[in-house]
Amino acid sequence: MSTLTVTLIQTKLYWENKEANLRMLEENINSIPQKTELVVLPEMFSTGFSMKPEQLAETMEGETVKWMKEMSAKNGVIITGSVIIKENEKYFNRLIWMLPNGQYGHYDKRHLFGFAHEDEHYHAGEKRLIASVKGWKINLLVCYDLRFPVWARQQVKTDEEKPTPEYDLLIYVANWPERRNHAWKTLLCARAIENQSYVVGVNRVGKDGNDIYHSGDSMVIDPLGEVLYHTADDEDIFTLTLEKENLDNVRNKFPFWKDGDSFRIEG
């Protein structure tokens, strides 16, 4: 059965300093001691959670995407995380899924954090991105999306020979403040249980430029809601191999996913 080895990088970020962040993250990725297949970085990993896209945004041909291509190719790994992107005169908090061959997919954050005025500076995405690697289907989301379970809700693919859930792993990249970390930890577990999926949440640590502290609390959770990894406050690079066989056993033994409601999301 298929496995997927994932590395989480929980780190401090240099406020609105792309050069320093990319240099630091390059060192972190190069230092991963074991073989891995997927490296997950925090939300807005090159700048921190900034509301200054006019000053910091890049195009898809810019420095940060180029860096992702180079690092992915050099290390032979998929790299994902979100960055500030300008496209068609609009700004997006865009998660990029970068493959070692230079091909990539992207997801624009759907739920913009109005409490921090994100909705005043960025445009919301309209489509989810479910990536595929080694037979795994991976649903890629960003931070505040976590509070909206319908957007992540597992649906059954009935157009195939055998009905199956549409994804196996749910990833959230985040800049989630420590003052609301109970919600972060609770909802990550809830998403795993209700969707019978592995969940990976990668958050930053330390204070940002607005003096907001982030405790990290990055987590890996199995399809039964059991926490396989969790660390708070400290910078950490952690690698774990997920087992498809375990996922399939849970879904076969407890086929709750078959009884889910059918629905359609309209923008």
Q: Which residues are catalytic?
A: 43, 109, 143
Q: Is 71 left (phi over 0), alpha (psi -120 to 50) or beta?
A: alpha
Residue 130 forms beta bridges with which residues?
A: 139
CA 129 to chain centre: 11
Residue 237 forms beta bridges with which residues?
A: 9
Q: Helix crossing, 18-30 with 63-75: angle to 10°?
A: 10
CA 201 to chain centre: 6
Report the SS3 class of residue 9: strand
The Cα-based distances of 19 to 23, 45, 63, 75, 154 in angstroms read: 6, 11, 9, 20, 38
Phi, psi of 182 (to 5 degrees): -65, -40
**For the stretch 203-233, what's the b/e string if a residue is b when 16 or more beta carbons lie within 10 angstroms of its beta carbon?**
bbbbebeeeeebbbbbbbbbbeeeeeeebbe
Cα gap 239→36, rounded to integer Å: 7
